A and B are shown apart, each in its own frame.
Chain A
Amino acid sequence: MTDTHDFYTLCETNDEHMEVYTIDLDCDDPFINGPILRYGFETVNHKLVSGFHVRGSSRKEKINLNKQLMVFIMHDDELWGWNSKELDRISQNQASNMYYLSDDSVCYLDTNSIIVGGKHIEHSEVKLIDCLFGSWKETCIYEEREKKAEILNFGVDNQRRRLIILSGIKNSKDKRDKFVTIFDIDTEQILVRIKIQSREIIGRLKSNLYNFTEGHIYYNNKVIKVRYDLLETFKGGEILEHQLFDHYSDVIKLKSSSDVIQCDTPL
């Protein structure tokens, strides 16, 4: 669903192809149009779809800025992009975690293996893809400064344009010390970086089973509030884990103990 009120769907066909269809939802009598894009399974090395994002064309805008339709598809660990002309592989290493930032931009994690001090390290960069008029621009917006640090997972607050990053550095006991970093995409600044002990926060960020928006991490029937307000008050001063995260449980009163709240579902 694009901001231009166009619906796009990606389908697998019986003859081993992927096809993209569209419906103009502003139309008085909406109909299915397409396929506007078709490619074979072998093109993407028979890898399954794990993400899909479309930047709608500006053809319906009052002033047409000639923004081309663009499609981004994650096939397992490969990110592919189509600019209305050619389908190209964007990621050169292992891609994962494609996140919607706005209609014009998406983030993903690009990981490759390096050797640091004789040890195998998964080095990752958070990359931002910005859609231009007829092409896209890819930039690295975040990577760990310390060579030994590994990004374990990350989330995007697309309302406030901030990243929450869980990273780990192996200590002398060969166990990972975990750190949470909050990074502002627009100012390109680290707002806070703290060592974290909470099993629940580490597990939640590691598993990615949450929705992160407006500084709130939503999961099940609980919310963790990230105190953005304190970050502005402290301005570089030391902030502790229990100060940065406020935990709220039983947010919605459920009729029965067997009732559940589930994120990312229309049900």
Chain B
Amino acid sequence: MLSNGHEHYLLKGMGQKNLPNIKDKVIRSVINKNDEFYLVTSKDYDRDIDILHTDDQKFNASIKRMLEPGMLEVKDSYVLNHSDDVKDGNMVILSKAGENLYIDTISLALGYEDDPDKAVIDTCVDNSYFAYGFNWPYFSFATKDNFILIYNAFNQNFI
């Protein structure tokens, strides 16, 4: 599998295969399992990340994520099969989008169903802050340690 993100070639034996199901998406990562590849793809601006398979166009998993250019970095990934059946098992992808860190778990079997969103069986998000509320002069946010901080712009003693 050769790709610079925009151009993709799959060399199989002496032949070169085209990958029409990628369309105008950019390959963010290639996940190898035995002699096949899963492709993590998205457009520069997108509302989801699509996981495709080089040999099987029926496979499609879709992770809902708002993306802008340069925002998505796939840090690591692996496929865990429980048996020789390629449809049996999960794929785990560690990615960073903006300042959020995500661990997405994808069921390979559900990737063959009609709704690609349902293939994502778990998403874990990590961030330095979570819920954020604002109404002048107050603003607040929750930390990952389950603290909620409330500030008043006119009163430095108010927390």
Contact = CB atoms under 8 A, between A and B. Distances in A.
Interface stretch (A33-41, A65-73, A205-213): A205-213
B39 interface: no
A1 B138 CA distance: 7
Contact of B131 (A5, A52, A199, A262): A52
Given A262-B98, A267-B129, A203 B135 contact: no
A204 B45 contact: yes
Given A7-B140, A264-B132, A266-B141, A203 B150 contact: no
A25 B152 CA distance: 9
Contact of A207 (B46, B133, B140, B150): B46
B109 interface: no
Given A5-B135, A219-B68, 15 more contacts: A1-B139, A1-B140, A3-B135, A7-B133, A7-B140, A9-B142, A10-B131, A199-B45, A203-B43, A206-B45, A206-B46, A208-B66, A209-B68, A266-B129, A266-B132
Given A203-B44, A204-B45, A267-B129, A25 B148 contact: no
B135 A1 contact: yes
A191 interface: no
A130 to B, nearest CB: 19
8 contacts: A1-B133, A1-B139, A7-B138, A25-B138, A206-B45, A207-B68, A209-B68, A265-B99
Interface residues of B, number: 26
A265 B139 contact: no
Interface of A: 1-3, 5, 7, 9-10, 23, 25, 52, 153, 199, 202-204, 206-209, 219, 262, 264-267
B103 interface: no
A206 B69 CA distance: 13
Contact of B68 (A5, A23, A203, A265): A203
B144 interface: no
Contacts of A206: 45-47
Contacts of B86: none
B130 to A, nearest CB: 11
B66 A9 contact: no
Interface in B91-109: 98-99
